[in-house]
Chains A and B, each alone.
Chain A
Amino acid sequence: MSRVGTPLSPQRRRFLQDSARAAGGCVAAGSVLAWLARDARALPAEALRPPGALLENDFLSACIRCGLCVRECPYDTLKLAELGVDAVATGTPYFTARDVPCEMCDDIPCVAACPTGALDPGLDNIDDAKMGVAVLVDQENCLNFLGLRCDVCYRVCPVIDEAITLEVEHNARSGHHAIFIPTVHADHCTGCGMCEKSCVLPEAAIKVLPARLARGSSADHYRKGWEEKEAKGSPLVEGIIDLPDRLPGPGTDNLVAPGGFEPSFQLPEVTQ
């Protein structure tokens, strides 16, 4: 069928042009908006969401940026991100632990105030909050690691002896002192930021980081043999020979230990 001699009607031509123009404009504007939406997810590591906040992607679909959580916060911990000032999605609530940490109110007023569920109302015990995880990021400057008894992060922790414990180790530098290592247990850490706020150093040696930065993860297929063995109550492989463990001490070839003896086989001397 020949199209020669049947030009498009002016109305149809105009309609197609207008539609194409509108669609083109929408794709362009929509792309910019989508780029902004993607950009908005880049939450800075030091910006922590309020207790109960959904994961960042879900949070941005749920938070209407009304600021009611900020108003209910009795310690002025929470702030709304300001356009062009804070690198957090504009108008969304966050806090900076080093400035004002979360005081972990028992009644969690910020969650109660949230009208949309961007802060999950299922959070009824503040000890279950997961705002982030504290990490002792600088072992070289941490006073406890230097062998001093600072202990401030441990003392201020609202979940003391569960979220942070002091693990005793030998101080090899002095030879006869202990090092009390502040150790975070992520299962109990709420990410409130009290430790980071209280660290006495000019720049905190312990910092609350978002879980995505603070934590690794164990592979699903990993099994810990000793746990499996305990669960089974017997060796996992039937009839396996349990060889004696070589322990340092008398009767072994550990020469450092008193009573040690020469090994029966010597490596050949290496000559130059």
Chain B
Amino acid sequence: MTARTRMPLGQEAIATKGWLGAHKYLLLRRTSQLCFLMLFLLGPWFGIWIVQGTLAGSLTLGVLPLTDPFVFLQSLIAGHWPELTAAIGAAIVLVTYALIGGRVYCSWVCPINPVTDGAHWLHRKLGLQKGWQPKRGTRLWIMATVLIVSGLTGAIAWELVNPITMLHRGLVFGMGFVWAMVAAIFLFDLFVSRHGWCGHICPVGAFYGLVGSKALLRVSAASRSACDDCMDCYAVCPENHVISPALKGKGDDTPLILSPDCSNCGRCIDICAEDVFKFTHRFDALSVAPSEPTAAPQSRASRPF
């Protein structure tokens, strides 16, 4: 470990952009997660029925049906041809995430995200080892397994264990022992495997990753020439293998983060004191910045703090 990486995470970004500026997307994301949850909770808690149902299937203002496309797909494979309402709902969700990035669901909507983010925060504070790190393809294997089991058993298999819909349903309808499942995921991510659940296991995330593999909304390392190798983005990114191809690309290599694993969470944008990253669209040719002529930034280790 060098002197550079030993500095507290995000300290430089806070110094240059202020605390709010260095947590902009994190705050937006928490707000978004809370809003999506509150939309579902306003009914049961306050009798304001804007959205009925759960993340698996819902009805907004009595007209807009939404269905989880992964649940829908399992139902199809299990041998049930759903009614039109569910099919329309799944199509709307599918098209939306295909445009804005499938894993936007993971970081901006999913109620398990704050749990695993919390586990990662504590993991970093405690300075724990990263632990068991399954291969990148594991969640795809699990997704395939789930679909095969759905076909063989004729049941929507993942909904028997899916902590996302269970936690959401728990909050909206009644908890039961779902809290134990949530605690198990927290502990798994904390002690067994860093970024274990969302980054390696969850087949819902794998599915949404595939859905959004050609999505328009992308993070770009547009000003990668300004990067001073502080490594903060790698430390906060929940899928940090997606950064290198864009950030460390040379010449004509695209600065766009095109990996379907990227969840568009925007933490890299927040944490970067040099404002290397920004949100853009996948056809943003301008983001291939003038990389050569700009002066190399001062090496971080030689700066005062």
List the interface of chain A (C-beta within 8 A of B).
18, 22, 25-26, 29-30, 33-34, 36-38, 40-41, 57-58, 60-68, 70-71, 79-80, 82-86, 89-91, 113-118, 121
Among B165-197, those with CB < 8 Å from A are: 165-166, 169-170, 172-178, 180-181
Residue of A nearest to B166 (CB): A83
Given A37-B160, A80-B173, A83-B178, the answer on whether A60 and B155 have CB atoms closer than 8 Å is yes
Cβ contacts A to B, 13 pairs, < 8 Å: A22-B137, A22-B138, A33-B145, A36-B160, A57-B154, A58-B80, A64-B71, A80-B174, A83-B166, A90-B166, A91-B169, A116-B57, A121-B83
In the bound complex, residues from chain B placing their C-beta under 8 Å from that of A71 are 43, 49, 52-53
Residue of B nearest to A56 (CB): B155
Contact B166 A67 (CB under 8 A): no
Residue of A nearest to B144 (CB): A26
CB distance from A35 to the nearest CB of B (A): 9
**B: interface residue count bin:** 35 or more
CB distance from A11 to the nearest CB of B (A): 15
Q: Mark B64-83, 1 if CB is under 8 A from A, else 0.
A: 01011001100100111111
Contact B53 A66 (CB under 8 A): yes
In the bound complex, residues from chain A placing their C-beta under 8 Å from that of B59 are 68, 113, 115
B242 within 8 A of A: no
A-B contact number at CB 8 A: 160
List the interface of chain B (C-beta within 8 A of A).
43, 49, 52-54, 56-59, 65, 67-68, 71-72, 75, 78-83, 85-86, 89, 135, 137-138, 141-142, 144-146, 148-150, 152-161, 165-166, 169-170, 172-178, 180-181
CB distance from B49 to the nearest CB of A (A): 8
Contact B52 A26 (CB under 8 A): no
Q: How far is the CA of A121 from the CA of B82 in the complex (A)?
A: 11
Q: Which of A25, A30, A115 contacts B67 (CB 8 A)?
A: A115
Contact A64 B169 (CB under 8 A): no
CB distance from B151 to the nearest CB of A (A): 10
Q: How far is the CA of A149 from the CA of B49 in the complex (A)?
A: 47
In the bound complex, residues from chain B placing their C-beta under 8 Å from that of A38 are 153
Contact A116 B83 (CB under 8 A): yes
In the bound complex, residues from chain B placing their C-beta under 8 Å from that of A80 are 169, 173-174
With A61-B75, A65-B165, A117-B80 known, 8 other A-B pairs at CB within 8 A are A18-B135, A26-B144, A41-B155, A61-B154, A64-B86, A68-B53, A80-B174, A116-B80
Given A22-B137, A61-B79, A62-B75, the answer on whether A91 and B175 have CB atoms closer than 8 Å is no
In this complex, which of A26, A41, A60, A61 has the most chain B Cβ atoms within 10 angstroms of its Cβ? A61
Contact B176 A61 (CB under 8 A): no
In this complex, which of A85, A90, A118 has the most chain B Cβ atoms within 10 angstroms of its Cβ? A90
Q: Which of A34, A85, A115, A118 contacts B177 (CB 8 A)?
A: A85
Residue of A nearest to B140 (CB): A22
Given A64-B156, A85-B176, the answer on whether A34 and B53 have CB atoms closer than 8 Å is no
CB distance from A162 to the nearest CB of B (A): 31
In the bound complex, residues from chain A placing their C-beta under 8 Å from that of B161 are 33, 36
Q: How far is the CA of A20 from the CA of B145 in the complex (A)?
A: 14
Q: How far is the CA of A33 from the CA of B43 in the complex (A)?
A: 33
Residue of B nearest to A63 (CB): B156
